[in-house]
Chain A
Amino acid sequence: MEFIIETTGLTKKYGSLVAVDKLDLKVEANTIHGFLGPNGAGKTTTIKVLVGLLKPDGGSVSVLGQEIGWDKPDVRSRIGYMPELPKLPKHLKGRELLDIYGRMQGMTAEERGIQIPKLLDMVDLRERENDLIGEYSKGMQQRLGLAQALIGEPKLVILDEPSLGLDPGGMVEVREIMKEMAKEGVTIFLSSHLLHEVQQVCTHVTIINKGVVVTSGTLKQVSAKARGPLTVEAEVDKLSKAVIEKVKELPYVTSVIEEGKRLSVEVETRDDIRSEVSQAITAGGGIVISMNLKGESLEDIFMDLLAKHKRTKEVTK
């Protein structure tokens, strides 16, 4: 298995504060890998180490198969990085910025001539390309921040909160761009607070807390590690005792609570068993009006794993 990012025992301290604590992180090639954690978990610090802005205090860091040393720019030629709320030089015009950054990437005039208009079109800034960045709105600066991360056709794109400051339409566009890039073989490492965004675009996820990996794997693997039970909530017409009995007969059901027309079915498995529950309701003579699964969303998993991690740390103490 090829790992685009691999850290072993990565440690970063700010004085006495340990921001990243022996972090072991593995990001597979050609994936969209979500990087989650509460504020102060060490996400941005980890990212800054990956792109050479911070020097680790311990451990090893390998990106695209190369050890990240201090001030070794060669590795960065294949990394695109969009910082959180990117601060771009306001004295430059949008196109000038991409041209200068393209030169810094080592792109020829011909390559820049082809790629820059494409990127400006992609982030919808073509009409404002000759305006100073200082005159751009926050959303426009965010979009230009994304464009500058993609210049030079990187193999790995690291995005730190790319949807911050974007309107809903812009957020959808950013997700589509990420999916398109992934199809083209670009690995995306995405740090985001928007868990539904991560759930929509990511194939893999790593959750960290206080500089330590809580869990990592595919979305399904991470979901399986969450301890909390899944609950199927259904609104049922013609809800009767027969319906409840039929549902209780399902092998993985641990409890069934009836509230008016609402039925809450707690199950032991983390598989999606909505179809089985639906069939049992129908077999009991009920009619399913709506149904949803609680505890399956990344938000639920995230909260559950963080709570579990906190308890483990308290026990260790």
Chain B
Amino acid sequence: MTQNRLGWTGKFLAVVRYEILWNIRKKKFLGILVVAFALATLSLAGGHIASAITGDPVEPNPDFVINANVGLGGFGFFLFAIVTTMNTISGEFESGTIVPLLAKPISRTTVFFGKLFAAFLTLLATYCFLMVYMTIGGYVVYGPQNNLHLVPLSLLGALFSTLIWIAIVLLLGTVSRSSLIAALGALGIWLGTAIIGSIIGALAGQGWILTYIPGSGNTGSVGGPPQLGFTVTTGTDSIGPNLINYILHPSWEVTYYKIDIGGTTPEQVQWIALNSEPLSTIILTSIAVALIYFIVFVATSWYFFRRAQVTE
């Protein structure tokens, strides 16, 4: 009779391996990785493309890498969350593989957190690859770069930003047991916050609400109205850039504006200042929002998964 010798850690790592192999062999994950790589390459090649069109030489840009945010924006974070997590729990139920998996001597808690950790590792490896690619590429294309020591903050911010979407996709997938509902539901939330929320926020002057929901958040600016000053977004998608900006400009005060459309010409549009807050407050708020959403959504998913009966 075989004696059990691998403890909890060994079993947890078995789940992690199981999930990572699934992630990296998914066609949609490989597809998104190729798209991200292509977009990063396009971003790097942007200067040369402009140069070829205008005939002007490529200008050195020492801040290219620090502003690149690992080559991804809000939608990029969202897409990576979708491809790494939309099948994590629901896919197991849909394919029936949950049956042999949960019949093994391993607790549902271990399975759940092993899968979550695997998604985190997959993202970490992907973002590290993109970060290194953008850093080396930026140096080669745009010359020596400033503040390279702050680039890991972009990575940290990107992970934070994606983890919220991961928690949302995971929750929808666990409750519905449908990958399609997980993906479409998350897309609906993303569209709601990114587009509708921004419009309502800007026009109604209630943009502060966006600070407390996942996504791009409220938009403010430093040094004047948005068209003149430096634009800052407060949401969880911007944790990385805001952290870097805070280290470079710790005293920044971000002012929020409401648009007053007074007429039909751009000159008649007025920006009305509403309120200001320090960048440090914005960062702390967005990190707190990210953590609270992540913890609440993951805990809820875990609760549902632990109670799930396998009728498949």
Contact = CB atoms under 8 A, between A and B. Distances in A.
B149 interface: no
Contacts of A83: 96, 99-100, 103
A274 interface: no
B37 to A, nearest CB: 22
A90 B91 CA distance: 12
A77 B14 contact: no
Interface stretch (A97-105, A213-221, A254-262): A97-105
A69 B252 CA distance: 57
B5 A76 contact: no
A77 B101 CA distance: 13
Interface string A95-126: 01000110111111001000100000000000
B102 interface: yes
Interface stretch (B117-125, B172-180, B231-239, B303-311): B303-311
B5 A106 contact: yes
B95 interface: yes
Contacts of A73: 104-107
Interface stretch (B17-25, B57-65, B204-212): B17-25
Given A73-B105, A92-B21, A106 B6 contact: yes
A230 to B, nearest CB: 41
A148 B18 CA distance: 15
A98 to B, nearest CB: 11
A87 B96 contact: yes
Contacts of B7: 106
B11 interface: yes
A89 B311 contact: no
Among A48, A55, A73, A111, residue most surrounded by chain B Cβ atoms (within 10 Å) = A73
B2 interface: yes
Interface string B70-108: 000000000000000000000000011101111111111
B254 interface: no
Interface in B17-38: 17-18, 21-22, 25-26
Size band of the interface chain A makes with B: 35 or more
Nearest to A81: B103
A30 to B, nearest CB: 14
B95 A104 contact: no
B22 A103 contact: no
Contact of A153 (B1, B6, B22): B1
A94 interface: no
A38 B97 CA distance: 25
B309 A111 contact: no
Contacts of B18: 89, 92, 100
A81 B100 CA distance: 7
Interface of B: 1-2, 4-7, 10-11, 13-15, 17-18, 21-22, 25-26, 95-97, 99-109, 306, 309-311
Nearest first, the 4 A-B pairs at minimum CB distance are: A87-B96, A106-B4, A103-B14, A77-B105
23 contacts: A14-B311, A53-B103, A53-B309, A73-B106, A74-B105, A81-B100, A81-B103, A83-B100, A87-B99, A87-B100, A88-B97, A89-B97, A89-B101, A91-B21, A91-B22, A100-B14, A100-B18, A101-B100, A105-B4, A108-B6, A145-B100, A152-B2, A155-B1
